[in-house]
């Protein structure tokens, strides 16, 4: 996913619908992994290692959630860029 996005960046044509889809997939994967890790650590802390390992709090999710939001915002920026590119191609 990321390699294909970087390839389009180096070719000078990043605003493609495929990149929008790729960024959304990356954001979704990050969200699932972040949620899974957070739940797994909470279960381990509560069930397997009570008192040894502290469960993660909501504040521990701020950085990953912010990163996920940035990826989704980038996807929307790329979507808008692709739309503008299509419009400019139609006017020429």
* Residues 65-89, mean pLDDT to the nearest whole number: 90
Provide the pLDDT for residue 72.
94
Helix H, strand E, coil C: the string for the chain is CHHHHHHHHHCCCCCCHHHHHHHHHHHHHHHHHHHHHHHHHHHHHHHHCCCCCCCCCHHHHHHHHHHHHHHHHHHHHHHHHHHHHHHHHHHC
pLDDT band at 32 (very low <50, low <70, confident <90, very high): very high
pLDDT band at 2 (very low <50, low <70, confident <90, very high): confident
Question: Poorest-confidence range of 5-9, 55-59, 78-82, 85-89?
Answer: 55-59
pLDDT above 90: percentage of residues in the chain: 30
Domain boundaries, the chain: 2-91
């Amino acid at each position: 996913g990321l390699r294909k996005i970087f390839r389009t960046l180096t070719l000078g044509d990043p605003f493609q619908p495929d990149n929008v889809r790729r960024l959304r997939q990356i954001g979704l994967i990050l969200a699932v992994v972040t949620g899974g890790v957070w739940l797994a650590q909470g279960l381990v802390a509560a069930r397997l290692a009570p008192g040894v390992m502290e469960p993660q709090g909501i504040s521990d999710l701020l950085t990953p959630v912010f990163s996920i939001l940035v990826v989704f915002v980038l996807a929307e920026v790329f979507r808008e860029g692709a739309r503008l590119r299509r419009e400019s191609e139609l006017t020429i």
